[in-house]
Structure 1
Amino acid sequence: MHWSQVEVGALARAASCAPSVHNSQPWVLEVAGDVLGLYERFDVSLPRHDPTGQDRVLSCGTALTNLDLAVRVLGWRPEVELLPSATRPDLVAEIGVADRRDALPAEIDHYSAIFQRSSYRSPFALHHVPPRVLRLLGDAAAGPGTEARLVQSRTEAAPLAQLLTHAGGVLRADRAYQRELTAWSAGFRHRPSKETTLPWSGLVRADTHLPDTVTLTERIAAESLLIVLTADDTRRDHLQAGAALERAWLAAIAAGLVGSVLTQPLHLPEVRAGLIEKLDLPGYPQAILRIGYPVTATPARATIPASAGKSK
């Protein structure tokens, strides 16, 4: 089979809506017959935010999840091969099609969520996310070598707050990072304010007020945070982490939630090592997804879709 122009347009649109580091969309999609090739753009460089390109690969992983869903909604069962070529390091994944299959209701829900997703960096509404919803998001993130670990109550909020406060201070004082952040946020329709650039959002500006550790501990304890972990720390792991992150985020949106992602503090070795030690993490932390209800939502409306239990 060959993808039609309309189908290629749908696939490209799904990929373009994936979250990416500084909204850089560091990938290229190529179509050859029935095979989709997802290529990393090495020319997209953020030397202060992402010196090793780890977040760039993570971003390609989020696009991969969107493409996988789009193929399913178009009526096919996808076959995904990661890093398939030893001679093309920029080829991060190939997606082929196996056979016809109707999309599951939850897959359709998550595909629809692709086009609703945006980063919510303000404080959440006060009502908590039910445990059953958090389990659903953890299940969505689980995959080969990936899992999502919930930050547990105040006992873990305190050490996390200490580490994020340290990271916030480092980032606020880093002039090169601030120049890079200013250049990126200039494209925002509404520039992030001091009130919304909270330390866990990864948008700490030179004029951002950093709360004291006690205050930040209270804020974190009132939220739901999922840490996306991988068994190892290779390029493949970063790609899988991005895919897992997007799966969890789309499941959250389908459940009436909003969220935002934090990766920048994890580039500081002392913060990453501190998280592994203080939270006794069973793997490498690649991203933190903070989720909750928007201030305009009510618990009655923000529930798990009826179709969610039918998916895998």
Structure 2
Amino acid sequence: MSVDFAGEWSEGDVEVLARAVVRAPSVHNTQPWRLVLPAGRAEVFERPELALGRHDPEGRDRLISCGAALANLQLAVRVLGRRAELLLPRAGEAAALAGSVLVDGHEPPTSAELHAYSAIPRRRSHRRPFAGARVPDEVSEVLVKAATSAGGDVVRAHEDQLPALAGLFEHAARTLRGDREYQAELAEWTTAWRPDGVGEGLLAPGYDRSGPPWAGLIRARGRIPGRQTLLTRMEHESLLFFVTRRDERDEHARAGIAMQRAWLAAVDAGLSASVLTQPLHVPPIRAQLAERLGLPGPPQVIMRFGYPSEVSARRTLRRPVTDIFRDSGTTGLSWQRRSEVEP
């Protein structure tokens, strides 16, 4: 492997950072990010060409996805023994910049950082029902602490709120099932044929059609379980709502960072999880969720977690590591394996 990069980064560093980024979760597994590595920092840029016009017209979920990549990137920098300060873009900065990790000096990673980093390759989306045992409060608090320590606002749903939530999720599922444009877009991004030329099956393996439809993956012909069935399922899992004070770019990225840190904490604790945003794109549902739960701001992500069932979640496919450096359109590192550079 031949690498052309700023002197701050060795070839091995680049490999560690890139593999951490490509393993981040993303909306419909679009993996909408570019990695740029100038001296003294590591930067994540959005890929607006991977837009989901119907599901995510404002790019909110795309930025949340880039926030998850930033969380992984910061952990990878720390594991390399560098100090790492996370910076989110301010108004007026490059429109596509999702965030940066400022690297300044050397410092060994903490035990908590090593645990979180080791969970990155083990993280999966568990879309099936969970096992019957409820997660103890003290374990759930570990996830909440991981999210808040990353600067996120997170609210746990209480048992007495579940009936109202079940009704809202059922309504969201019916709305999404009847939205033809949404269904066409969902089919396009979860088919074995990929319009972006990445290759067959990039997204299809991880989308379990037998999973709970209220998780947002409701199909046009999917059966929507009744409210009581949804409530029974929800009683066997826990729900976290990631909230921001404002609907701004930096806050969306921050929600993704907090979400990913909580997810890695769940994996480290022996739990499984999945996240959903689809119901939050049905405007009345988003507003009613904020009202029913007394949230301090708009909800950006919902995480469901619990003990895994006997069926393990499958790994979703990833783009080649080199793909996240190609044609970034930004200044800084553009890294490719020499064998993959076109003549």
> Do they fold alike, i.e. is TM over 0.5?
yes
Specify the code of the residue in structure 2 equivalent to 1:232.
R
Q: Which residue of 2 aligns with 1:310?
A: none
Q: Indicate yes or no: 2:37 matched with 1:31.
A: yes
Cα pair distance change 1:101/1:191, threshold 3 Å: closer
Give 1:172's aligned residue: 177
Q: Given residue 35 of structure 2, which amino acid in structure 1 is its aligned partner?
A: L
Go from structure 1 to structure 2 and tell me whether the alpha carbon gap of 1:141 and 1:200 turns closer, same or farther (over 3 Å shift): farther
Report 1:1-312 matches (<5 A). Answer: 2-83=8-89, 86-143=92-149, 146-153=152-159, 155-186=160-191, 187=201, 188=203, 190=205, 192-196=207-211, 198-296=212-310
| Matched residue SS, 1:33 | coil
Give the drift of 1:87.
4.5
Q: Which one-letter code corresponds to 2:139 in the other structure?
A: V
Alpha-carbon distance in 2 for matches of 1:35, 1:85: 20
Offset, 1:207? 2.0
Q: Number of paired residues?
A: 295
Native 8 Å contact 1:227 1:288 kept in 2: yes
Question: Within 2, Cα distance between the matches of 1:31 and 1:146?
Answer: 26
| Partner amino acid, structure 1, of 2:283 | P
Is the CA contact (8 Å cut-off) linking 1:84 and 1:93 kept in structure 2?
A: no
Are the structure 2 counterparts of residues 8 and 193 from structure 1 closer, same or farther at C-alpha, using a change threshold of 3 Å? closer
Deviation for aligned residue 1:144: 6.9
| 2:48 partner SS | coil
**What is the distance in 2 between the residues matched to 1:219 and 1:124?**
8
The answer as to whether partners of 1:24 and 1:44 remain within 8 angstroms in 2 is: yes
In 2, the alpha carbon distance for the partners of 1:149 and 1:87 equals: 31
Residue-by-residue CA offset, 1:9-30 (whole Å, 9 max, x unaligned): 1101100000011111111111
Structure 1 segments, 4+ long, off by >2 Å, are 84-87, 143-146, 187-195
Q: TM-score of the superposition, structure 1-length normalised?
A: 0.90
Q: Is the 8 A contact 1:146 1:231 kept in 2?
A: no
Report the identity percentage: 45
Displacement, 1:143?
4.6
* CA RMSD, Structure 1 to Structure 2 (Å): 1.7
Structure-1 separation of matches of 2:204 and 2:32? 21
What is the Cα deviation at residue 206 of structure 1? 1.3
Distance 1:200 1:36, change over 3 A: same
| Structure 2 length-normalised TM | 0.82
Q: Check whether the contact 2:144–2:154 (CA below 8 A) recurs between aligned residues.
A: yes
CA distance in 1, matches of 2:85, 2:157: 33
- Structure number with greater CO (CA < 8 Å, separation at least 6) is 2
Could you list the per-position Cα deviations for residues 154-174 of structure 1 after superposition, in whole angstroms to 9, with x for gaps in the alignment? x21111111110110011111
Q: Is the Cα contact below 8 Å between 1:228 and 1:288 reproduced in 2?
A: yes
One-letter amino acid of the structure 2 residue matched with residue 30 of structure 1: V
Gaps of 5+ in 2: 1-6, 192-200, 312-343
Distance 1:213 1:285, change over 3 A: same
Deviation at 1:136, TM superposition (A): 0.5
Distance 2:76 2:151 in 1: 23
